[in-house]
Amino acid sequence: MAPVMSTLTVSKHFVEASLSGAERLGLDSRALLQEAGISPDLLRIDMARVSSDQFSRLMQVIWNRTGDEFMGMGPRKARTGTFATMCALVINCQTLEEVYEQAFRFSRLFEPMVSMELEVNEDNARLVARIEGEIHDPSYFLRESILVIWHRLGSWLIGQPVELEKAEFNYPRPEHGDEYRHIFHCPLAFDSDCIALTFSKRFLSAPVIRDKPEMRQFLKTSPADLLSRPDESNTWTGRIRGLIGRDFSKPMPDFDWIAQELHTSPQTLRRRLKQENTSFQEIKDLLRRDMAIYYLSHQELPINDIAERVGFTEPSTFHRAFKKWTGVTPGAWREGERGDLAN
């Protein structure tokens, strides 16, 4: 399957939310954005998105400039290297259950504690957020990040995605709540009494398959990459994205063919996608949107050529679709990326 990870995009909301702690500490958000290769002008577009590469770089810039892995949002500073030290401990664990227990023990050494605690019952397992003290997280970015990092770190260590049955949040559904569907791929519950991820306890016995050299490589770009580039190759959404690929100049495969390639029936695949909070049409639309944004960042490519590359025979149809996806025309988007968006 053709990898499509590098063309995934991240909502402007998460870009601005990630900067809130640094701004509170007095850092210049425009300078941080520019250091990460993101045009501040682009963020003037309401539905702007950045590439996963740009978002990953921004995370690293913020951590480096604040010297804080909580990015100025936590109840205390988490000095640079805290996450890497935890990873150095858990790489020696035998199973995922040991990983989560060891990681929790490590996190409790710091006060006030910011961690995820494993709870196991007869039916399933839950990772429950334990956050002590006052946090400065108006856009919920710190809380979202903790869930994502712990979940995806565990999935990476065992070499398979820990399929989530439910994600809970102890706050009302935020304005950007629709993005949660593509982050967690499971049913969502807001206004809950806790922040937690529920999954089958069968994953707890899965063996850790990574070794220390792999962990050293992993830590060169993590946890930034965990936040910006989810490994969804084993979700149904990710598998379908992989089968569709990047070449839209030829006809897109139909749903029945996709189901056949995935060795399942169309009815079962529709049900699986519904469980992941998405649909075949949405996957196709978002893939085209992300590919269009990717190509628009290559300033030398004419917009009419981009329209053809993402599967539109008429440039006018592409313009309408892109405006529906992003709120602006391809030309205005490109101006925003160049930093010369008109007032």
Tokens 């025309």: give the residue.
329
Query: What confidence score (pLDDT) does residue 125 get?
Result: 98
Query: What confidence score (pLDDT) does residue 9 get?
Result: 87
Yes or no: say if 166 and 187 are a contact pair by the CB < 8 Å rule: yes
Beta-carbon contacts of 115 under 8 Å, excluding residues fewer than 6 positions away, are 103, 104, 107, 108, 129, 130, 131
Query: What confidence score (pLDDT) does residue 6 get?
Result: 52
Confidence of residue 340 (pLDDT cuts 50, 70, 90): low
Confidence of residue 5 (pLDDT cuts 50, 70, 90): very low
Alpha carbon distance 237, 8 (integer Å): 13
User: Looking at per-residue confidence, does 46 or 199 come out higher?
Assistant: 199
The b/e string for 86-114 (b: 16+ C-beta within 10 A; e otherwise) is bbeebbebebbbbbbbbbbebbeebeebb
- pLDDT, tens only, 167-203: 999 999 999 998 898 888 889 999 999 999 999 999 9
Taking all residues of the chain, what is their mean pLDDT, rounded to a whole number?
90
Alpha carbon distance 88, 100 (integer Å): 13
The C-alpha torsion from 196 through 202 and 203 to 206, rounded to 10°, is 150
Coil vs helix vs strand at 64: helix
- pLDDT, tens only, 276-299: 888 999 989 988 998 899 899 888
- Give all domains of the chain, ordered by start, each with its CATH number: 9-228 (no CATH), 236-339 (1.10.10.60)
Amino acid at 330: P
Query: What confidence score (pLDDT) does residue 304 get?
Result: 92
Q: What's this model's pTM, rounded to 2 decimal places?
A: 0.83
Query: What confidence score (pLDDT) does residue 113 get?
Result: 96
- pLDDT, tens only, 102-124: 999 999 999 999 999 999 999 89
- pLDDT, tens only, 233-287: 567 888 898 888 877 877 888 999 999 999 999 999 999 898 888 899 998 998 8
